[in-house]
Amino acid sequence: MKSNWKRKALAGVIAMTTAVATAVPAFAAESDEPKPLSVYVGGERLEFETQPLLVEGTTLVQFRPIFEKLGFKVDWDGETRTVTGTKEGLEIVLTIGSDVAKVNGKEVKLEQAARIENDTTLVPLRMVGETADQQVNWIGYERRVDIGDLEHVLGSLYDLHIQYTEDEDKAGVLSTIAESSPVYAEASVLFGRTFALTDMDYEVVDFKLLGAEGNQAVAEAVTLAKKVQGPDELADQQVTQRHVFVNESGSWKLVNSVTVAVDFLNADLYEDKKPSVPAAEAQAIKNFLEQFRIASEKEDWVAYESMYHDEYPNKETLFAQAKQLGALMDLQFEYSDISIIRYEDGEAWVRLHQFSKLTGGQRLIPDFHLDTVYKLKKNAAGEWKLAEDIDLHVQYLVD
């Protein structure tokens, strides 16, 4: 069974699947005029006297700004109509009108030849960038090329993904997800449902590359999500996710994401105030928690429901969800680090660590560690009941 952790933990994960899959019911408005082509190297936009051209899928740009930004010394030979860029053991030679370049004397076939437009020499951008050992990422929705190391270009893509999500730009978010993604087919419906209920602000706190092989890469991102409006159970949170990216035809896209941790940013509110608790009450609270754990683990719905105080919010919805999930999977619960952090007559706040492990059924979620606070309150009969639970931090055990 899944105890009441599920309501808020899943709300948090849903809010941040925003970081991978959410959007609004309507597409962002598009201008009749396409966006101008833009080129960024290391996050800095390059300025060109002659604007870049897109010719049959190949971006051509003014040669001197891109060569110099990548650290090349540049030479133009008007007689042979060749551009030469050199740096640390690397020489690139491009000839106007020729679909063959030379890299350290070796011929390389080009998709498009260098050309002259408006008295300006334009060269194929991807060939120059990749020859300089840089990643070259085409972002079609923005008509933008990002050049840099792999961590940089993936981080830039993720920044755009988050910005589209915050702007509720459905087409933009979808443009960052690979069509091979297992969520792509359902994404549009999921986007509409989630964005119709929530309005969130996001900030990427950290992004780091974990590894890459072939056309796939794995990175970890930490994103801060702040609720502007949405369901009561949805709170501000900082989410750590592991993202898998795939390079499809020169464009990196998100293909899969796994939530590693959710920090609900509220732990400072629940420090241990070291209250004086009568021994008999401390034992009664301990007994209640053990009975609650057992009822949750055994899916004893009668006992489980009897342990909630009448003041607990949305009990009927919680019980219905718990039973649905209980039919799909079984969990084993372990409690540790139990501490009564506040105590008043008839009311106690208990902070504890919960480890939940799948023991049967479908693996809908990984095993997880949960730091949480239970607010217990006595009913009219003087029995301790669960009146509220506040999740502080969830750590998922993912591979």
Give the residue from 256, 42, 305 showing the smallest Cα distance to 149. Answer: 42
Query: Residue 1 CB: number of other CB atoms within 10 A?
Result: 22
Instruction: List, for residues 4-63, the tens digit of each pLDDT value.
Output: 444 443 444 343 444 443 332 223 334 457 889 999 999 999 999 999 999 999 999 999
Please provide the distance, in angstroms rounded to a whole number, between the alpha carbons at the two ends of the chain.
23
Give the global pTM. 0.85
Instruction: List, for residues 297-306, the tens digit of each pLDDT value.
Output: 999 999 999 9
Instruction: List, for residues 208-251, the tens digit of each pLDDT value.
Output: 999 999 999 999 999 999 999 888 778 899 999 999 999 998 99
CA angle (226, 228, 231) in 5-degree steps = 95
Handedness of CA 152, 29, 235, 189 (dihedral sign): negative
Handedness of CA 118, 119, 120, 123 (dihedral sign): positive
What 3-state class would DSSP assign to 313? coil
- Amino acid, single-letter form, for residue 358: L
One CATH from 3.90.1150.10, 1.10.10.10, 3.30.457.10, 1.10.3730.10 for 38-137: 3.30.457.10
Mean per-residue pLDDT, 316-324: 91
Place of tokens 């994960």: 13
Of 56-65, 230-239, 268-277, 369-378, minimum mean pLDDT range: 230-239
C-alpha–C-alpha distance, residues 197 and 395, integer Å: 26
Query: Average per-residue pLDDT in the chain?
Result: 90
Mean per-residue pLDDT, 150-179: 94
The reported pLDDT for the residue numbered 18 is 41
C-alpha–C-alpha distance, residues 251 and 274, integer Å: 56
Mean per-residue pLDDT, 162-181: 91
All residues at 6 or more sequence positions from 62 whose CB lies less than 8 Å from its CB, including other chains? 48, 49, 50, 52, 120, 121, 122
How many residues would you count in the chain? Answer: 399
Instruction: List, for residues 384-396, the tens digit of each pLDDT value.
Output: 999 999 999 999 9
C-alpha–C-alpha distance, residues 234 and 14, integer Å: 9
The reported pLDDT for the residue numbered 334 is 96
| Rounded alpha-carbon distances, angstroms, from residue 198 to 13, 24, 167, 176 | 13, 9, 12, 21
DSSP state of 308: B
All residues at 6 or more sequence positions from 42 whose CB lies less than 8 Å from its CB, including other chains? 147, 148, 152
Per the rule left: phi > 0, alpha: psi between -120 and 50, beta: everything else, 191 is: alpha
C-alpha–C-alpha distance, residues 37 and 54, integer Å: 8
Residue spans in the chain of domains classed CATH 3.30.457.10: 38-137
Mean per-residue pLDDT, 278-285: 96
CATH match of 266-396 with 3.10.450.50: yes
Contact 261, 393 (CB under 8 A): yes
Could you give the percent of the chain with pLDDT greater than 90?
79
Contact 152, 165 (CB under 8 A): no
What 3-state class would DSSP assign to 325? helix
- Amino acid, single-letter form, for residue 56: E
C-alpha–C-alpha distance, residues 244 and 36, integer Å: 29
Of 180-189, 230-239, 342-351, minimum mean pLDDT range: 180-189
Residue 2 in this model has a pLDDT that exceeds 90: no
The reported pLDDT for the residue numbered 377 is 98
Residue 156 in this model has a pLDDT that exceeds 80: yes
All residues at 6 or more sequence positions from 216 whose CB lies less than 8 Å from its CB, including other chains? 244, 245, 246, 247, 255
Residue spans in the chain of domains classed CATH 3.10.450.50: 11-32+147-263, 266-396
Mean per-residue pLDDT, 117-131: 96
CATH match of 11-32+147-263 with 3.10.450.50: yes
Mean per-residue pLDDT, 370-379: 98
- Amino acid, single-letter form, for residue 41: V
The reported pLDDT for the residue numbered 32 is 56
Place of tokens 């239970």: 374
